[in-house]
Amino acid sequence: MQLVDKVALITGGASGIGRATALLFAREGATVVIADLNAQAGRAVVNDITQAGGRAYFESTDVSDAAECQRVVEHTLSEFGKIDILFNNAGIIRRATVLDLSEEDWDRVMAVNVKSIFLLSRGVIPHMQKAGGGSIINTASGWGLTGGAKAAVYCASKGAVVLLTKAMAVDHGPQNIRVNCICPGDTDTGMLRSEAQQLGEASDRFLAEAAKRPLGRVGTPEEIARAALYLASDASSFVTGTALVVDGGGLAGSL
């Protein structure tokens, strides 16, 4: 029970890595607030948590919208009195080169993957400062550290997340606010499977290619969630500004 009495706000918490993290944080004693656009899936996660004896709450939220981000922060504070952990996990991907990418897709990916971190952190940090500290975790990607084919805007957005994380760690370390990011490799989520569709590839072939890494498989959402738990808990009390790679060795030969 590493997160007893903690309140965690998780974006993109209705599915994939966010869902696995919400379930894990709740098992570890945290009260979990899930911010997501998918109300049906989000409420299902809340139901799973409450049925297991935990505490959870769902907020329908477009994390790219400043007013909605402010609302979810204010509602969380009103309901639970504090935010100890902010997991900026919401993200989307568009697989295309710059020649094939629309301006609309560029703007949407950057808004969800990067702007949302700015908006929610801006809302949460003042309350963490008053409380004497906190932990902010951002979901980046292995493609935030190295480039990938037909993923120009995704790579750009995740590279921005890595350096935004480091800059925030420098700025807010003196207030005992730790800021870190996770750089997952290919993980078995709906988003990974959607990439195959975007590229017009067969799902089984795409996943087989994604598994070509030293550990010989893609990751699971639960494995990424355990990395988030480490960064959220006191186990990482002297860790800030890091980009934690969790990718089965996929980048081991390229960095």
Tokens standing for 90? Answer: 């919401």
Residues 6+ apart with CB under 8 A from 90: 11, 12, 18, 35, 36, 63, 112, 113, 116, 139
Q: Which residues of 181-206 are buried (b: 16+ CB within 10 A; e: fewer)?
A: bbbbbbbbbebbeebbeeeeeeeeeb
pLDDT (0 to 100) of residue 255: 59
Tell me, what DSSP letter sits at residue 3?
A: T
- Please give the class, per CATH, of domain 7-246: alpha beta
Tell whether the model's pLDDT for residue 84 goes beyond 70.
yes
Q: Kindly list the catalytic residues.
A: 154
pLDDT (0 to 100) of residue 253: 85
127-174 per-position pLDDT tens digit: 999 999 999 999 999 999 999 999 999 999 999 999 999 999 999 999
Report if pTM > 0.95.
Answer: yes
Residues 6+ apart with CB under 8 A from 138: 88, 89, 117, 161, 164, 165, 179, 180, 181, 182
**For the chain, percent of residues with pLDDT exceeding 90:** 98
Predicted confidence band at 226 (pLDDT cuts at 50, 70, 90)?
Answer: very high
Tell whether the model's pLDDT for residue 231 goes beyond 90.
yes
In order of 85, 89, 121, 136, the CA distances from 126 in angstroms are 13, 20, 9, 13
